[in-house]
Structure 1
């Protein structure tokens, strides 16, 4: 009897040890954020806050409204009384990325998700491990590397446009084609050849377990969204082997499907890596005969391991994690952005014709083809660059990025916000443990920074000097004063890589094909990244029908 009582007391003590710090943090948040305005949400509850509305794939309009219309600082009630903040104020973000750069990092459940599914890749790594991995990967994403890869990008983009041209009508009426699958194949194949030195097959007959698993990761992750914060606690209680077993026997389809995705990705990545290792032993001449000509990411990382110091080398699991994460991060994000560009061009025929004339002036009128152009020549196509920049300004692949601080922080504001009590708030006290949403889309559409037409898609804004308000805002950014790729230690390491893919795809498509809208209404849903769908469709996969005809 005494043992039972002691066990009960121990259990109660453990529960209190877990619960009391959470209660204390929520009370500190309540007092710190008491007067910060929140979003309109009549169905907000203590149990879920506004989490359901913000993460529901079918309510992207509500999410977009909150992030772009409710101010630079927004209080977001979350799970069990937790409070999160959406921040797009440039001065506050500068402090987050600068003064508090070592304090704010990805939430533990975010890193753990990627670690469990894909292994110790860049997103899962923290602290010194993250610095080490980023140092290894930086040369692979440099402009110098991309210049070496431009012919491969060009070839895959040409395959994409040729494949769609085969399906297009030669008359002015055009043919409706569902192109989201082809754009996804292009992105995956481009990254496969340049990063892995591996082909998933021709664009017109593409697909493996590996590619399908990667495409299903985002929608599956959304179904698990509410339960992801529990992952660090579960990992403390059970080893990975037990967790994987439980994931295979618990009768919950999203969980089982996520395990199957993890298994498929790991198996194929391991096969590719081992084959690369064997080829590397045979010498550079053999490597040059491969798809990536020995210049792909995996080959470079393996060579660095041969020549690097013992303590600086990456383990096999590290490299496997980078392979899987890169394919995930660089495929859906790029393909959905290209889909968005095609939709906007179809809806704005004058912009499409202007872009086509620029491409024809660079090729047809000079007796050249896009395949003859190098990296710098693509960058110098001003209108193409304007179309790409304006699209990623208005519609970044990720609307937000999450960070959490392990210490109290005070973030200054460039302009005061008015609290619910009518008093101005000039700085934000952020209690340790608070999740902050870095509001990328809100920053990109801020009318005080980008002008009164910030919520309109206007490529021409990039052909003239930017308003002085853009430079004066000092937006933390790695590209063109945009928040689309974040900033700081966790900024998108592959942003130049993604931009190169987009330029290639759009240039080849517009030069060869004309796009007009389909009769079907396109809506955009949240599924990991924001992706297109047809209104009323029950499909969980991206869908983007558009009418195409040959130029």
Structure 2
């Protein structure tokens, strides 16, 4: 079907959606005896002035949340209104912003499947991961998670550390070659661009026993398919796009996905091209792994273990081919995009804090000496876990720079949300719990929770790895799967590959800090934490160029 035909057929439908939204304002009720409206959060909970009937929809609070740099609105709202905030969407809809620890624990863990993903947000996640675990909800999510958990167990993740070490060493060799030919023996590298290709190769071998050759061939199809994907598809949403996103809550998810498949647009075409490339590779690999399993040949890569786990399920609980392909896309996306950015943010903070960088390098060198003394040459998982300062740096990076900074949910039934600290309503009443009506839409702020001063200390906005070593972190409800951070989420939606990610970050960080010294460039003054579905580093005035974090790199001195 020609694209012009799709546009002409859908335009009247979209226009009718715009028209009907005017009538939605009539649902506003003001009942002073309750804490919530029918189907919406309470207007009695304080928050920023948003859109109401008759005002400019392009000035909504949702726009502030999605268009500013990651965390800017979160931290401002927290300071002014607290950990539960009522705000407005583009069409005047009500939402709750939540960073309260007890409320988050309840939503993520106690009542997980009663707070499901927003349909329009599920449709967006489909653009980068298909109908995989990130997209799935309810029974489908339970089925997929059950099959995917075994390959990501602790022992399986630790066994992949040598793969990560090898690709980190490849970066070292390439950078040393560059530095040796540089007049002043220094180079400025766009660090995340390099790390994205390196982690793509690492995830290719570790997860699929497949060689993407991303470091050698920057023009390969798989590199081009993922290069700029998040920035082009999700980056810098305009006021119009935010309005369309709000309209999408009135459109069935199946219709949204159909529009994504056929409507023209640079971002949608980029997503479709990426899907075609990765799905083709995935289909071939799944077939070969299935054949190998049938012949009794069992690989140790994640996809081989996933194929084996899926075969062991009965037909009713087994993932179909589309789900398996989507699972591979999910692993590839999470294993290289989010991890490479986390390593980059860690290197940025170490560049800003030379003393921390020196202390980390000292710990690494001491462990290298211990490894040589016992006759080994490679870091083991035990060695990595014994470097307490390195772990503190990683935890602090994950706290300060959560690559996934928001997640969106809606209540599937009437509920009561508990709070860690009482909040004061607009009428002055203190409440320690909030009645939630079915259909209430919430933004769970991972960025806000990770900088809650009640949990992490008064210097919550400072990079201070020592907080993880001096016992100053307050003990509270256990929410996240990794040291109570929400960076990998928690409960039923916790990232199943969090151990995998931590080992990958450990390998690259230890290798790079051992061999190189990182320092700031003038361009870093223009650095932005860009909201693109995930948090990406970009430069002010050059956002359209995609991911950028230029750091100066020199060889680290050694006292041998």
**How would you bin the TM-score normalised by the shorter chain?**
0.7 to 0.9
Select which of 262, 278, 290 maps to 1:246.
262
Confirm whether residue 358 of structure 1 aligns to residue 326 of structure 2.
Answer: no
User: Which residue does the alignment assign to 1:315?
Assistant: 320
State whether residues 40 and 437 of structure 2, in contact with CA within 8 Å, keep that contact through their aligned partners in structure 1. Answer: no
Select which of 227, 244, 254 maps to 2:244.
227
CA offset at residue 138 of structure 1? 1.0
Task: Give the direction of change, closer, same or farther, for the CA distance of 1:253–1:519 in structure 2 (3 Å limit).
Answer: same
Task: Give the direction of change, closer, same or farther, for the CA distance of 1:370–1:493 in structure 2 (3 Å limit).
Answer: farther
CA offset at residue 226 of structure 1? 4.7
* Structural mapping, 1:397-436, within 5 Å: 397-436=403-442
TM-score, L = length of structure 1: 0.86
CA offset at residue 112 of structure 1? 2.8
CA offset at residue 201 of structure 1? 0.6
Task: Give the direction of change, closer, same or farther, for the CA distance of 1:278–1:311 in structure 2 (3 Å limit).
Answer: same
CA offset at residue 69 of structure 1? 2.8
Select which of 433, 444, 462 maps to 1:438.
444
User: Which residue does the alignment assign to 2:459?
Assistant: 453
User: Which residue does the alignment assign to 1:516?
Assistant: 519
User: Which shows bigger deviation, 104-113 or 35-44?
Assistant: 35-44
Ranges in structure 2 where 5+ consecutive residues have no aligned partner: 1-12, 30-36
Select which of 239, 261, 271 maps to 1:258.
271
* Structural mapping, 1:512-551, within 5 Å: 512-520=515-523, 521=525, 522-551=527-556
Ranges in structure 1 where 5+ consecutive residues have no aligned partner: 1-10, 288-293
SS of the equivalent of 1:144 reads helix
User: Which residue does the alignment assign to 2:389?
Assistant: 383
SS of the equivalent of 1:80 reads coil
Q: State the Cα deviation string for residues 204-227 of structure 1 (Å, max 9, x = none).
A: 434532333234332213446653
State whether residues 76 and 83 of structure 1, in contact with CA within 8 Å, keep that contact through their aligned partners in structure 2. Answer: yes
SS of the equivalent of 1:79 reads coil
User: Which residue does the alignment assign to 2:163?
Assistant: 152
Tell me the distance in 2 between the aligned counterparts of 1:347 and 1:370: 33
State whether residues 402 and 436 of structure 1, in contact with CA within 8 Å, keep that contact through their aligned partners in structure 2. Answer: yes
SS of the equivalent of 2:530 reads strand
User: Which shows bigger deviation, 58-67 or 532-541?
Assistant: 58-67
User: Which residue does the alignment assign to 2:353?
Assistant: 348
Task: Give the direction of change, closer, same or farther, for the CA distance of 1:463–1:235 in structure 2 (3 Å limit).
Answer: same
SS of the equivalent of 1:543 reads coil
CA offset at residue 122 of structure 1? 0.7
Query: Which stretches of structure 1, 4 residues or longer, exceed 6 Å deviation after superposition?
Result: 18-21, 40-44, 170-173
TM-score, L = length of structure 2: 0.85
SS of the equivalent of 2:544 reads coil
User: Which residue does the alignment assign to 2:286?
Assistant: 273
Q: State the Cα deviation string for residues 61-89 of structure 1 (Å, max 9, x = none).
A: 63343355342111221121111111111
CA offset at residue 173 of structure 1? 6.4
Task: Give the direction of change, closer, same or farther, for the CA distance of 1:302–1:40 in structure 2 (3 Å limit).
Answer: same
User: Which residue does the alignment assign to 2:5?
Assistant: none
User: Which shows bigger deviation, 422-431 or 510-519?
Assistant: 422-431
State whether residues 180 and 339 of structure 1, in contact with CA within 8 Å, keep that contact through their aligned partners in structure 2. Answer: yes
User: Which residue does the alignment assign to 1:174?
Assistant: 186
CA offset at residue 165 of structure 1? 2.4
Confirm whether residue 306 of structure 1 aligns to residue 311 of structure 2.
Answer: yes
- Pairs aligned (count): 523
State whether residues 203 and 336 of structure 2, in contact with CA within 8 Å, keep that contact through their aligned partners in structure 1. Answer: yes
Tell me the distance in 1 between the aligned counterparts of 2:40 and 2:496: 37
Tell me the distance in 2 between the aligned counterparts of 1:306 and 1:100: 31
State whether residues 210 and 268 of structure 1, in contact with CA within 8 Å, keep that contact through their aligned partners in structure 2. Answer: no
Tell me the distance in 1 between the aligned counterparts of 2:92 and 2:49: 17
State whether residues 90 and 246 of structure 2, in contact with CA within 8 Å, keep that contact through their aligned partners in structure 1. Answer: no
User: Which shows bigger deviation, 424-433 or 409-418?
Assistant: 424-433
